[in-house]
């Protein structure tokens, strides 16, 4: 983000005013220097409110009230910004946008809200409502007051406070506010860069070492060595060096937090607001300090207040520096005025509502209609078209999002729509003449050289969480390999339980003899394997759905018969280098204690890792059985759970952690802190404070 303009109404010192950043075409002045004084300091605080946003502004404290004219009055701040993609906007969203932030002083406290059209906007500016969520990246900016005091062992690097974003601007409003703990930041940089060799940290540390040495005469010769002691290095600096380095370290910390996926976070765009930066160093060193900041943060826009003599001391080249404004959005092709395209007469529309894999029923329908010379169009989710005579849709899941799409399609197409699938009707079947015909693989070009379908259907087991027994009945042959493959050598097999069929060994033998690569996407039942079928299955090239590596998929939905499962597993002779995925369902009939037992069992199997999926109610099924998820040792069991880690696919476990954390919060009215820390150790760290404040989302935010 770059700041382009400010308009204030009812500001205490500036009253009604307008402020514009100098621009030249698609270039923006990098350094905007304001004469020091109360009015300029207030203008910086007004800019900081805009950058902080209505959601986080209450965290700035009582200092904001100094901007308001008095009790009962409303401070209105109109602003215009340039948004960068993708951090501030998607590629098709407007670049130049504007809005208004309203601040009302009612005596008992301030209220903040967005009002996109509260003040007139310049021509060509699109109104927008700033929606920062709990994020740390959108509209990146930092503000620093004239006196900086660093944390000393008290800094919150883990985002445990829900209004953490306000800490970026606090020193501008409160002289006692603390900025980044320099020793802790350097310790973290040392660990990531020197010990772990992470590229963003390495590049950041290299930049700091180079520029601190060149501009602040700091000896950084050991800073990139394992023996480096950040605490000792910081204490050895002269007082003026510490003061000059602190604002650079504070901005570095916030840029690394805001852009964790960038290889060079210090080169990202943003806004830096500085009130009297001449106090960070002696007058003679200000030009050198400013040149260092200019080089260290090449894409950051700076607004600073300085005495006239300090402004004159800055190099002319620095004061003339410009930044390129973000490129205009990518144009979107305009639709018809109705917003809905029209199909050619006689076309058949097929809609895949919610499938994660290509839809076999739609592929058979496509082949049927194309054999009649009809044009077939495939679309997804809520497809909107004019002039459609026939619409066939398939809904696989009965979850709420799928049912909303179903209702929307029924509203759109009425009697024209025929809809089937296990998400809406377990009895509806394709007519035999369509079911028996080959699938049309051209409907899903992404399948490429992969075949897909059923050799067998049905399952003799009657698991209460599964719809297969009601929909398909007992196990039976459905098709032969030749019809299914159509000359292909890769097969995504959709069978419900192929090992339950009496001819399972013969079917596996055919796959092995043909040297087929097979993905058993619905998993295999380890309980049904004996020595003979195991020997055959070991010869089959079991693969993932993309056929990029050898993977075995088994299921483990309970804790009974684990010793038998271990015996059957051992027949394969798997080792640590193998990829064996065991799929576990949670949220149905297992307790936390049983889940921990399953996960510990899987971890003990060579080459095994877990894939967990939450139980989703199936059509016309009753409620799941009532189980007490937690017992009186819930905390100890969660501690044990967190010690069970796998060599791959831990992202799947994170979903289970999140589900468990919410269930724990609902039952006990508190959080399990170790579980929360694990959830936010690597991902979405900036959302941790909001998560904690709302008790894992189980209570509204204040």
pLDDT for position 338: 45
* Cβ count within 10 A of residue 134: 21
Sole residue written with tokens 């097929």: 350
Distance CA 173, CA 592 (A): 48
* Cβ count within 10 A of residue 98: 23
What is the pTM assigned to this prediction?
0.81
DSSP string, 657-687: HHHHHHHHHHHHSS--HHHHHHHTSSS-GGG
Q: What is the pLDDT of residues 96-125, one digit of tens each?
A: 999 999 998 776 678 888 887 777 776 667
Average pLDDT over residues 646-672: 93
DSSP state of 386: B
pLDDT for position 340: 62
Distance CA 84, CA 326 (A): 6
Contacts 24+ apart (CB under 8 A), 328-334: 328/95, 329/85, 329/89, 329/91, 329/92, 329/93, 329/94, 329/95, 330/91, 330/92, 331/92, 332/92
Average pLDDT over residues 602-630: 90
Q: Is the peptide bond before 86 cis (omega within 30 degrees of 0)?
A: yes
Sign of the torsion angle spanned by Cα atoms 422, 425, 427, 432: negative
pLDDT for position 297: 98
Average pLDDT over residues 233-247: 97
Q: What is the pLDDT of residues 249-266, one digit of tens each?
A: 999 999 999 998 899 999
Distance CA 152, CA 174 (A): 18
Average pLDDT over residues 476-483: 93
pLDDT for position 261: 87
* Cβ count within 10 A of residue 62: 10
Sole residue written with tokens 């805009």: 50
Chain-wide mean pLDDT for the chain?
A: 91
Distance CA 75, CA 65 (A): 10
Q: What is the pLDDT of residues 487-533, one digit of tens each?
A: 999 999 999 999 999 999 999 999 999 999 999 999 999 999 999 99
Q: What is the pLDDT of residues 420-438, one digit of tens each?
A: 999 999 888 999 999 999 9
What's the CA angle centered on 683, arms 679 and 688, to 5 degrees? 60
Query: What are the tokens at 425?
Result: 């009707």
pLDDT for position 222: 94
Query: Coil, strand, or helix at residue 142?
Result: strand
- Give 6's Cβ-side CA count (13 Å radius): 27
pLDDT at 548 over 80: yes
Q: Is 15 exposed, middle or buried (0-12, 13-18, 19+ CB in 10 A)?
A: exposed
Average pLDDT over residues 279-291: 94
pLDDT for position 20: 94
Instruction: Name the residue with higher pLDDT: 649 or 673.
Output: 673
For residue 351, give the H/E element and its range.
strand 348-352
Query: What are the tokens at 430?
Result: 């394709």
Residues 6+ apart with CB under 8 A from 557: 463, 465, 584, 585, 588
Distance CA 174, CA 109 (A): 17
Residues 6+ apart with CB under 8 A from 368: 433, 434, 437
Antiparallel, parallel or unpaired: β 348-352 and 376-380: parallel
What is the widest separation between alpha-carbon atoms in the chain? 92
Query: What are the tokens at 225?
Result: 């060595």
Using CA atoms, how far residue 308 sits from 44, 276, 638, in Å, is 17, 11, 61
pLDDT at 397 over 70: yes
Sole residue written with tokens 């959080």: 671
Residue 470: phi and psi, rounded to 5, are -75, -35
Number of helices and strands in the chain (H, E)? 22, 28
Q: What is the pLDDT of residues 316-373, one digit of tens each?
A: 999 999 999 998 887 654 443 345 677 888 899 999 999 889 999 999 999 999 999 9
CA 555 to chain centre: 28
Residue 627: phi and psi, rounded to 5, are -130, 150
Percentage above 90 pLDDT, the chain: 73
pLDDT for position 273: 98
Average pLDDT over residues 211-237: 95
Domain limits of the chain?
Answer: 2-324, 348-434
DSSP state of 190: I
pLDDT for position 337: 39
Average pLDDT over residues 211-238: 95
The domain defined by 2-324 folds into Rossmann fold (3.40.50)
Average pLDDT over residues 655-680: 96
């Amino acid at each position: 983000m770059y700041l382009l303009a400010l308009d204030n109404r009812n500001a205490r010192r500036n009253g009604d005013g307008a402020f514009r950043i100098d621009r030249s075409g698609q270039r923006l002045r990098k350094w905007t220097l304001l004469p020091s004084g109360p009015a300029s300091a207030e203008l910086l605080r007004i800019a900081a409110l805009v950058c902080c946003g209505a959601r986080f502004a209450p965290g700035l404290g009582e200092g904001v009230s100094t901007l308001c004219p008095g009790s009962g009055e409303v401070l209105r701040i109109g602003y215009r910004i340039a948004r960068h993609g993708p951090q501030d906007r998607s590629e098709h969203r407007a670049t130049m946008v504007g809005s208004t932030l309203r601040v009302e002083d009612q005596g008992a406290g301030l209220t903040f809200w967005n009002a996109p059209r509260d003040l007139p906007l310049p021509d060509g500016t699109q109104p927008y409502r700033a929606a920062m969520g709990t994020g740390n990246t959108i509209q990146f900016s930092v503000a620093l007051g004239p006196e900086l005091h660093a944390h000393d062992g008290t800094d919150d690097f883990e985002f445990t406070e829900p209004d953490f974003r306000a800490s970026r601007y606090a020193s501008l409003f409160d002289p006692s506010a603390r900025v980044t703990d320099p020793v802790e930041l350097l310790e973290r940089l040392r660990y990531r860069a020197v010990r772990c060799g992470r590229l963003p940290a390495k590049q950041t540390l290299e930049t700091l070492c180079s520029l601190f040495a060149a501009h602040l005469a700091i000896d950084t010769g050991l800073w990139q060595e394992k023996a480096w002691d950040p605490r000792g290095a910081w204490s050895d600096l002269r007082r003026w060096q510490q003061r000059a380095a602190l604002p650079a370290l504070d901005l570095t910390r916030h840029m690394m937090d805001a852009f964790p996926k960038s290889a060079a976070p210090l080169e990202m765009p943003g806004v830096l607001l500085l009130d009297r930066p001449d106090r960070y160093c002696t007058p003679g060193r200000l030009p050198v300090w400013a040149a260092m900041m200019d080089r260290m943060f090449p894409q950051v826009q700076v607004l600073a207040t300085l005495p006239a003599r300090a402004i004159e001391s800055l190099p002319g080249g620095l004061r003339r520096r410009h930044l390129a404004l973000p490129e205009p959005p990518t144009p979107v092709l305009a639709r018809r005025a109705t917003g809905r395209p029209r199909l050619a007469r006689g076309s058949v529309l097929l809609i895949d509502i919610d499938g994660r894999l290509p839809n076999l029923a739609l592929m058979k329908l496509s082949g049927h209609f194309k054999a009649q010379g009809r044009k077939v169009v495939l679309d997804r989710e809520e497809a909107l078209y004019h002039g459609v005579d026939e619409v066939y849709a398939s809904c696989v899941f009965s979850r709420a999002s799928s049912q909303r799409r179903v209702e929307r399609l029924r509203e759109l197409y009425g009697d024209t729509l025929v809809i089937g699938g296990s998400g809406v009707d377990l009895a509806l079947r394709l007519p035999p003449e369509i079911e028996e015909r080959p699938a049309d693989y051209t409907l899903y070009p992404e399948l490429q050289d992969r075949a897909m379908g059923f050799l067998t259907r049905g399952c003799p087991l009657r698991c209460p969480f599964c719809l297969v027994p009601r929909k398909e009945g007992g196990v039976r042959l459905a098709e032969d390999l030749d019809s299914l493959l159509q000359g292909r050598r890769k097969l995504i097999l959709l069978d419900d339980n192929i090992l339950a069929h009496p001819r399972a060994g013969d079917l596996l033998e055919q796959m092995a003899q043909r040297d087929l690569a097979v993905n058993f996407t619905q998993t295999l039942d380890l309980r049904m394997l004996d020595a003979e079928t195991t020997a055959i299955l070991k010869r089959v090239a079991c693969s993932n759905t993309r056929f990029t590596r050898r993977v075995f998929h088994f299921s483990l939905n309970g804790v009974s018969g684990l010793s038998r499962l271990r015996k059957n597993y051992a027949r394969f002779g798997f080792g640590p280098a193998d990829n064996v995925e065991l799929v576990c369902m949670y949220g149905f009939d297992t307790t936390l204690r049983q889940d921990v037992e399953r996960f510990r069992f899987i971890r003990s199997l060579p080459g095994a890792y877990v894939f967990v999926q939450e139980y989703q109610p199936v059509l016309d099924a009753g409620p799941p059985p009532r189980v007490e998820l937690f017992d009186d040792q819930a905390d100890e069991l969660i501690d044990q759970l967190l010690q069970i880690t796998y060599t791959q696919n831990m992202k799947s476990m994170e979903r289970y952690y999140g589900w468990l954390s919410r269930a724990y919060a609902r039952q006990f009215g508190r959080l399990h802190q170790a579980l929360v820390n694990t959830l936010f150790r690597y991902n979405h760290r900036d959302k941790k404070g909001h998560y904690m404040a709302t008790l894992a989302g189980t209570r509204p935010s204040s």
